[in-house]
Structure 1
Amino acid sequence: MISQDTIQQILSRIDIIDIVGSFVKLKKRGSNYIGLCPFHNEKSPSFSVSPSKEIYKCFGCGKSGNGIGFIMEHEKYTYVEALRWLANRYNVEVEETETSPEYKAHMQVADSLHVINAFAQKYFADILMSNEEGQDIGLSYLKQRGFREEIIQKFQLGYCLERGNAFAKTAIANQYNPEYLQKSGLVVLRNDELMDNYRGRVIFPVHNNTGKIIGFGARIIKKNDKAPKYINTPENELYHKSKILYGTYFARQAIDKQDECLLVEGYTDVISLHQAGIENVVASGGTSLTQDQLRLVKKYTNNLTIIYDGDAAGVKAALRGLDMALEEGLNVKLVLIPDKEDPDSYVNKVGTTAFREFIAANKKDFILFQLEITLKDAAGDTTKKAAVVNQVAESISKINKAEDFTKQQDYIRQCSEILKIEEHGFTTLVNKFIRERVSKQETKHQGPAQNSGPAPDGDFPFFPEPMYDENGFEIQGPPQEFQQQDDTINLILKDELQERSVVRALLEFGLKEWEGKKRVADYFFEEMIDDDLFDNKQLLHIIQTYKAWYDAGLEPTSKNFLYHEDQSISSIVVSIMDFPYELSPKWKEEYDMPVASREDVYVQEVISTLNYLKLRKIKRLIEQNQKDLEQPHTSDEQMMLLQTHMHLKQLEKDILKKVGTVILK
C-alpha cells in the first residue's frame, strides 16, 4: 500500500488544469476552463474545469470528478494506479507501508518481470526492424498481411531470431536473472543451457491497462506441423490469461467513447481493425470468455458485440460463456463474418465503411440467436425442443440485475412467441431456474444451517406471473402501492438537496471568520441540532469527520474530502461542489454594477442552511405532537399539547420570517 505521507505529497502538488490539460485542449473562460469532452463525441465544448474547486464537469454527458478521478476515468486506472501515475508526473517518490514478506517477495518478482518484458520488447522490435533475418522473415510476413509500419510500431510488434539462444545470450549479458527469464517464458532450460522459447516467431506484446508489458504471444511463420501455431506466456506474477483481453490498453478510450466493445478472437484481428480506424476492439485469444474478462469489458461499457467466423466452430465459440455475460448485466450481440472470412481478412476485403455497415446491420441478440441456432438443431424433435425451452429459460434466468427487469420480460414475451408456447408457463419455468440459483447461493454462502435471508449475489428479480380478471383478461398496470410512492420520493429528494447545501456550506466556508474569534465551523457546530436530522448518513459522516478533524486542531477544507481515500466520500463531495452556473465576466462590462458572489454572502448562506435544519427539527416535532393529539388524553394533557403545537408553529413562523420564506402547510 502507498503510505499516507506519499499520498499527501501527491495531493499537495495536484494541479487539475495540468492533469486534464495533458489530455484535453483547454481554453480559459471566466474563472474556469472549457474544452471538448474526452468522454463522448461533441463538436461544441461542454466540458468545464474549475481550478478553484479542483473539479471537472461535462454538461453534455454528465461525468464529473477531481484530478485523481479524471485519471481513473480517462485511463481506466484503479485508485492506486492513478496515484502512481501522478507520483511519476510530479516526481514524488512512492513510499510503501509495511507489508508481509510474502507480498514483498511477490512484488519484487512482478517488478523484475516488468523490467525483463520491457527489455525483451525493445530487443524483439529492434530485431524486426533492423536485423536482416528480422526484415526478410518477420517484417515481410507482417507487410504481406497488410500491416503498415506505423501500426507495427503502435502495437510494438517484434521478431525472435531462429538461432537457438540469441535472445538468451543478450539477456544474460545484460545481467538479467536466469530464474526470472525462465519465469517470464522468454527462455527455457534445455540440457543445462538457456534457449529462446519463441524462435522464428513474430512477437505480439500483451499490455496491461497502464501500458506495461505483462507477457507475449508468439506466432510461428514457417510451416511446422509439430509446433503449435501460437505460444503464450505461462502463468506468472504478471500474466493471468483468464484476466486478459488483448488490445485493451489501445482500445479503452474508444470503447468508453463509443459505449461499445467489439470482441474478436485473434491478435491480428485487433491490429487489422485498428489499422482500419476501428479502435474499440479487443481479443479473447480464442479461449472461452471468463468472468474476469467480462468484468474487464464492463469497466468500459455495458454493450458487448462479439464478432466471430461464420463457420460451425465460430458459432460454437461465440456461444461459449455468454450466460456469464448476462449475469454481469452486459447487453450481448453477435455478428458472424460470412464467406469463411475472419475479421482481419474481411475488413481488408471490404474496407472500413462497409465493415462498419455490416456489423451495424447484422448484430443479433444473444438470447434470440441462441434460440434460432438450437431450434434449427431440434428440427421438429419434441424431446430436443423441450431441451431448447429449458436452455433458453435458464439463460434468461441468469439476467439477475433488478434494473434489467424490463429486458427480461421482453425476452420472455419474444421467446414464448418464437417457441409457440404459453407465456405464463414460460414465466413459471424462468422463475423455477431463478429459485434454484437463489437456493444454491444461499446454501453456498450461509451453510445448511441457515436457509433464510436475501441471496448474497445479484438482485434476483422474479417476474410477476400474469394475473387475470373474472373474464380471463390479463390485469395490466403496476400495483397501487408503487404509484403512492411518488410523493414520498419527491420529498426525500428535496430534503437531500437541503442536506447537501448544509454540507457544502461547511466545506466551503468552515474556516472563514465569524463573530469575534470564532470561525464558521465553531458557529456551525454550536447551532447543529442533532445527528438524527440527516437522513443521508453518508452526508452526516462527512460532517462528523470534519468535526473530528477540526476538534483535533486540523483545518479541513473541501480538498481533504475531494481527494479522500474513500472513493464514496470523494464522489459525493464532487457532486456537492458541482458548478452548474458561473457568473459571466461580461456582466460587469455590460451593466457596470457590482455583483455579489457566494464568497461575499457566505454569512447569509450559513445562517440559511442551518435555519433549514432548525425548521426540519420543528416540523418533525409538530408531526409528533399532532400524532399525540390524536390519542385519548385528559383535558389538562390535551391543553398542554395544544399549547405545544402553538409554540412550535410560532417558532416555525419566526424562522421562516428570518429567511424570507412563505410558510407552507
Structure 2
Amino acid sequence: MISQNSIAQVFETARVEEVIGDFVQLKKAGTNYKGLSPFSEERSPSFVVSPVKQIWKDFSSGKGGNAVTFLMEHEHFTYPEAIKYLAKKYNIEIEETERTDEERAQADNRESLYLVSEYASSYFQNVLHKTNPGKAIGLSYFKERGFTEETIKKFDLGYSLDEWQGFTDDALGKGYKLNFLEQTGLTIVKGEKRFDRFKGRVMFPIHSMSGRVLGFGGRILTNDKKAAKYLNSPESEIYHKSKILYGLYHAKQTIAKEDNCYLVEGYTDVIQFHQTGITNVVSSSGTALSPDQIRLINRLTNNITVLFDGDAAGIRASIRGIDLILEQGVNVKICTFPDGEDPDSFSKSNTLEELTAYLEGNAKDFIQFKASLLVKEANNDPIKKAETIREIVNSIAKIPDQIKREIYIQECARIMDISENVLFTTLAQINNKQAQDNNKPKSYTSSSSSDPNEPPFEVFRNEEPSRKPKVDIQYELEKKIIEILMLYGDRTEQFEDLILQEDETSGELLLEPTKHEARVFEKVYLDLQEDEMQFSNPQFKALYYSIIDKLNQEEGFLTKNFINQLDQDAASTVTSILMEDERYNLHDWERNLIIPKEKKDSVSQLVSQTILSLRCHLIDQKVAEYKNETLKENVDLRVIMEDVKDYVGLKMLLSRKLGKVLG
C-alpha cells in the first residue's frame, strides 16, 4: 500500500496541464488550455484543462477529473499505478510495502499481462548486457547498426537466447504463470510443449504512450529463410498493433513542441533518428497505417511528414497511407531519400544539421509529391495522365475541410495544367457518388463545381422535429448550489435579504430589503435551513453536506484538495459541474476593448438568484400538489384555494425580486 503522505505529496506536486500535456497537444485559451479529445474522434477541440482548478473536462465524452483520473481513464492505470507514474515523473519517493507473491497473484488479468511484459523486457536487457551470448551476438548486432550504449539503454533493447525455453523457464521459476506468458505471446504452448516465441532474436520493446511495455518486436539474426525476419507479439488484451506506434513514448513531447511528427517504417529508423538528434519520429512497426494510429499522432500535432526510402515500388504501395492521413483532417508532407537509402542509413551517414536541412529542403506537400510521382508513371500518355489527375482528385476528396479542398484543387490545376472547373466538376462527381454509396444527401462543394444539368440543391421533406428532453429545474439549481459552494464557499460577501412583512395599512405582504455581510456557505446553509429545503438528488445531497462540513472546519478551502479526497464517481461529478462554464468561456476579449463581466464579480447576486429560483420552483411543486388534492373526494376546496392563493402571492413577490415576468 502507498502511504497517505506519499499520495498527498504527489497531489500537491503534480500539475494537471503538465501531465495531460504529455499525451495531448494543449493550446492556451484564456486561463485554460484546450485540445482534441483523446477519448473520441473529433476535429474541433472540446477537451479543456483548468490549471487554476487543477481539473480537466472532455465535453465530447463527458469524462473529467484530476491528473490521476486522467491517467486511469487514458492509460487504464489502477489508482496505485497512476500515483506511481506521477511520483516517477516528479521524482517523488513513495513509501509503500513491497508486494508479496500472494498480492501479485490477486492482481487482475490486465495488470498481470503488464507485469509479465515488463519482466520480459528486463530479462531480455539483462541477457543482452550480462551474458556471453547476449554480448557476442545481440550487443554486437546493435553496435554494428551504429547504436551507442546510451541509445541501446534508452530504448530498452534486449536479446532472447537461442534456446527453446530459456525465457519461459526463467519466468516460471520467478513465479509468473504460464497462462499470462501465453496470453502475451511470449511463450507458445502446444499440448505439453512450451517454447519461446522470440528464440534467438534481438528484442525491441513496444511501449504505450505512458511508457508501459505492451509487446515486442524481434529480429532474427540468422539466414533462416523459413523464419520471418521480424516477428511481433500477437494481439492481446494490452497489445493492439493498429492502435500503437513504436517510439511514441520517447517522441510525444518533441512532437507537441515541434508541432510535427516524422513517420517512418521500422524500429531502427526511429532509433537512428533519435541518436542523430531528431526525436519527433514514430513508426507503424511494419504494419499498415491505421486511422487509430493517425489519431494518436493527431492528439499531439496536426502535421505529419511521411519518410520513404528510395524504393519506388514501396512508395507506390504506401500512397494509401497518405489518403488515410488526409481523411483524418491532418496535414501531410512526404520526403523521399535517394535511391538505396532509407531513414536509418541516411541519418547514420549524416550529421544532425545535414539531416535537418535535407528534411526541410525535400519535404513536399502531398499533392506536389503525388503529382510528380504519377506524372512520371504516365510518361506523356494522355489516358494515363487523365487517370493520374482523377487519382489526385480522389485524394483531395478525402480531405474533410472544404477550404483546404479548394486550395488543393487550385494547386492541382496549376501543376497538371488543367482547368479548375473541370477538377471541381470531377470532385463534385466523386463526392456525389460517395454520398450515394453512404446513403447520404448529395453535397456540392462550390458553385464552380456544379454540373449545369444538375440541380443546385435538392428539397427534402422536413422530418417531425424530435422533442427535446424536459429540463429538470431542481436538478440544475441543486447543481448550481454545489458549484457556488465549490468556487466561492469561503468568500465573504454583502447580501441583500428580503424580510417578509405585512403592511399595517393595506394588510398586504411586502418584502423589505436588509443588507448584511456573511460567508457564502453560511448564507446558503441558513437559507436552505430556514425554508427546510432538501436536495432531491442523493449525490448532490451528500456533496452538499460534505462541502459545508469542510468549509465549517477548515480555513483556506481548496477545490483541488477536496476533489482529490472524493471517490472517482463523485470527483467526476464535481469536475463536470466546475468545468461546464469553461465550455463557453470567453477569452482574449479585453484586447478588443470588450470586457465581459465575470461570475466572481457578482457572487452575492448569483447566490440570491439561485436560492430565490429554488424557492419559486418549490412553490410551483407545492401548487401542483394542491392541484392533485382537488381531484380527491371529501376535500375542503376553500382551504386549498386559500393556501394556493398565499403561495402564488409569495411567488409573485419572489419573482419581482428576481426580475421575472409571470404570465
Q: What's 2:330 paired with?
A: 330
Q: What's 2:435 paired with?
A: 438
**Alignment partners' CA distance in 2, 1:367 and 1:569:** 46
Would the aligned equivalents of 1:157 and 1:205 in 2 still touch at CA under 8 Å?
A: yes
Q: What's 1:490 paired with?
A: none
Q: What's 2:409 paired with?
A: 412
* Aligned counterpart for 1:19 among listed residues 2, 14, 18: 14
Would the aligned equivalents of 1:288 and 1:320 in 2 still touch at CA under 8 Å?
A: no
Q: What's 1:565 paired with?
A: 572
Which TM-score applies when normalising by structure 1? 0.62
Whether 2:74 is the aligned partner of 1:78: answer: yes
Would the aligned equivalents of 1:76 and 1:299 in 2 still touch at CA under 8 Å?
A: no
**Alignment partners' CA distance in 2, 1:252 and 1:574:** 27
**Alignment partners' CA distance in 1, 2:156 and 2:436:** 49
User: What is the CA deviation profile of residues 291-330 of structure 1, one whole-angstrom value per residue up to 9, with x for unaligned ones?
Assistant: 1111111111110111110111331243132212111111
Q: What's 2:137 paired with?
A: 137
Would the aligned equivalents of 2:24 and 2:300 in 1 still touch at CA under 8 Å?
A: no
**Alignment partners' CA distance in 1, 2:295 and 2:284:** 13
Aligned-pair identity (%) = 33
**Alignment partners' CA distance in 2, 1:21 and 1:388:** 49
Q: What's 1:53 paired with?
A: none
Q: What's 1:424 paired with?
A: 421
- Give the CA deviation at 1:371: 2.2
**Alignment partners' CA distance in 1, 2:382 and 2:422:** 17
* Aligned counterpart for 1:465 among listed residues 431, 447, 460: 447
Would the aligned equivalents of 1:15 and 1:67 in 2 still touch at CA under 8 Å?
A: no
- Give the CA deviation at 1:338: 1.1
| Partner secondary structure for residue 321 of structure 1 | helix
User: What is the CA deviation profile of residues 431-460 of structure 1, one whole-angstrom value per residue up to 9, with x for unaligned ones?
Assistant: 22223333333x3xxxxxxx76xxxxxxx9
Number of positions where the alignment pairs a residue of Structure 1 with one of Structure 2: 491
**Alignment partners' CA distance in 2, 1:199 and 1:547:** 55
**Alignment partners' CA distance in 1, 2:213 and 2:75:** 20
Q: What's 1:213 paired with?
A: 213
- Give the CA deviation at 1:68: 5.2
Counterpart mapping for 1:331-346 below 5 A: 331-346=331-346
**Alignment partners' CA distance in 2, 1:373 and 1:179:** 50
User: What is the CA deviation profile of residues 24-60 of structure 1, one whole-angstrom value per residue up to 9, with x for unaligned ones?
Assistant: 9xxxxxxxxxxx999999xxxx9999xxxxxxxxxxx
Would the aligned equivalents of 2:24 and 2:299 in 1 still touch at CA under 8 Å?
A: no
| Partner secondary structure for residue 547 of structure 2 | coil
- Give the CA deviation at 1:87: 3.8
Q: What's 2:638 paired with?
A: none
Residues 545, 67 of structure 1: alpha-carbon distance in 2 compared, 3 angstrom cutoff:
farther
Q: What's 1:583 paired with?
A: none
Would the aligned equivalents of 2:245 and 2:283 in 1 still touch at CA under 8 Å?
A: yes
Would the aligned equivalents of 1:19 and 1:67 in 2 still touch at CA under 8 Å?
A: no
Gaps of 5+ in 1: 1-5, 25-35, 50-61, 94-104, 444-450, 453-459, 469-500, 528-543, 581-597, 614-650, 656-665
**Alignment partners' CA distance in 2, 1:553 and 1:73:** 24
**Alignment partners' CA distance in 2, 1:503 and 1:87:** 28
Whether 2:547 is the aligned partner of 1:555: answer: yes
User: Which moved further from structure 2: 224-233 or 76-85?
Assistant: 76-85
**Alignment partners' CA distance in 1, 2:541 and 2:5:** 20
**Alignment partners' CA distance in 1, 2:539 and 2:546:** 10
Q: What's 2:602 paired with?
A: 605
| Partner secondary structure for residue 572 of structure 2 | coil
Q: What's 2:243 paired with?
A: 243
Which TM-score applies when normalising by structure 2? 0.62
User: What is the CA deviation profile of residues 603-639 of structure 1, one whole-angstrom value per residue up to 9, with x for unaligned ones?
Assistant: x7335778999xxxxxxxxxxxxxxxxxxxxxxxxxx
Residues 361, 75 of structure 1: alpha-carbon distance in 2 compared, 3 angstrom cutoff:
farther
- Give the CA deviation at 1:63: 7.4
User: Which moved further from structure 2: 127-136 or 203-212?
Assistant: 203-212
- Give the CA deviation at 1:245: 0.9
Would the aligned equivalents of 2:424 and 2:449 in 1 still touch at CA under 8 Å?
A: no
Would the aligned equivalents of 2:486 and 2:547 in 1 still touch at CA under 8 Å?
A: no
User: What is the CA deviation profile of residues 241-282 of structure 1, one whole-angstrom value per residue up to 9, with x for unaligned ones?
Assistant: 111111111111111111111111111111111112211111
**Alignment partners' CA distance in 1, 2:73 and 2:483:** 28
User: What is the CA deviation profile of residues 419-442 of structure 1, one whole-angstrom value per residue up to 9, with x for unaligned ones?
Assistant: 33221221122122223333333x
| Partner secondary structure for residue 565 of structure 1 | helix
Whether 2:252 is the aligned partner of 1:252: answer: yes
| Partner secondary structure for residue 256 of structure 2 | helix
Q: What's 1:644 paired with?
A: none
- Give the CA deviation at 1:74: 11
| Matched AA of 1:555 | I
Counterpart mapping for 1:123-202 below 5 A: 123-189=123-189, 192-202=192-202
| Partner secondary structure for residue 159 of structure 2 | strand
Whether 2:488 is the aligned partner of 1:509: answer: yes
**Alignment partners' CA distance in 2, 1:575 and 1:561:** 20
Would the aligned equivalents of 2:110 and 2:238 in 1 still touch at CA under 8 Å?
A: yes
Would the aligned equivalents of 2:244 and 2:293 in 1 still touch at CA under 8 Å?
A: yes
**Alignment partners' CA distance in 1, 2:355 and 2:577:** 45
Residues 115, 39 of structure 1: alpha-carbon distance in 2 compared, 3 angstrom cutoff:
closer
Residues 351, 72 of structure 1: alpha-carbon distance in 2 compared, 3 angstrom cutoff:
farther
- Give the CA deviation at 1:337: 1.2
Residues 391, 364 of structure 1: alpha-carbon distance in 2 compared, 3 angstrom cutoff:
same
User: Which moved further from structure 2: 289-298 or 545-554?
Assistant: 545-554
Would the aligned equivalents of 2:203 and 2:218 in 1 still touch at CA under 8 Å?
A: yes
| Matched AA of 1:143 | K
- Give the CA deviation at 1:389: 2.5
User: What is the CA deviation profile of residues 441-494 of structure 1, one whole-angstrom value per residue up to 9, with x for unaligned ones?
Assistant: 3x3xxxxxxx76xxxxxxx974222399xxxxxxxxxxxxxxxxxxxxxxxxxx
- Give the CA deviation at 1:381: 2.4
Residues 392, 611 of structure 1: alpha-carbon distance in 2 compared, 3 angstrom cutoff:
farther
User: What is the CA deviation profile of residues 60-108 of structure 1, one whole-angstrom value per residue up to 9, with x for unaligned ones?
Assistant: xx97545454858998972865966544458899xxxxxxxxxxx9x94
| Matched AA of 1:124 | F
User: What is the CA deviation profile of residues 346-404 of structure 1, one whole-angstrom value per residue up to 9, with x for unaligned ones?
Assistant: 1110111111111111111113311221222122323222322222222111111xxx3
**Alignment partners' CA distance in 1, 2:124 and 2:292:** 30
Counterpart mapping for 1:25-64 below 5 A: 64=50
Gaps of 5+ in 2: 33-47, 57-65, 88-93, 97-104, 451-479, 496-515, 528-535, 549-557, 565-569, 589-596, 611-655
User: Which moved further from structure 2: 185-194 or 352-361?
Assistant: 185-194
Would the aligned equivalents of 1:14 and 1:67 in 2 still touch at CA under 8 Å?
A: no
Residues 255, 74 of structure 1: alpha-carbon distance in 2 compared, 3 angstrom cutoff:
farther
**Alignment partners' CA distance in 1, 2:379 and 2:425:** 25
Residues 71, 524 of structure 1: alpha-carbon distance in 2 compared, 3 angstrom cutoff:
closer
Residues 416, 279 of structure 1: alpha-carbon distance in 2 compared, 3 angstrom cutoff:
same
Would the aligned equivalents of 1:428 and 1:465 in 2 still touch at CA under 8 Å?
A: no
Residues 169, 572 of structure 1: alpha-carbon distance in 2 compared, 3 angstrom cutoff:
same
**Alignment partners' CA distance in 2, 1:506 and 1:435:** 54
Residues 558, 121 of structure 1: alpha-carbon distance in 2 compared, 3 angstrom cutoff:
closer
Q: What's 1:348 paired with?
A: 348
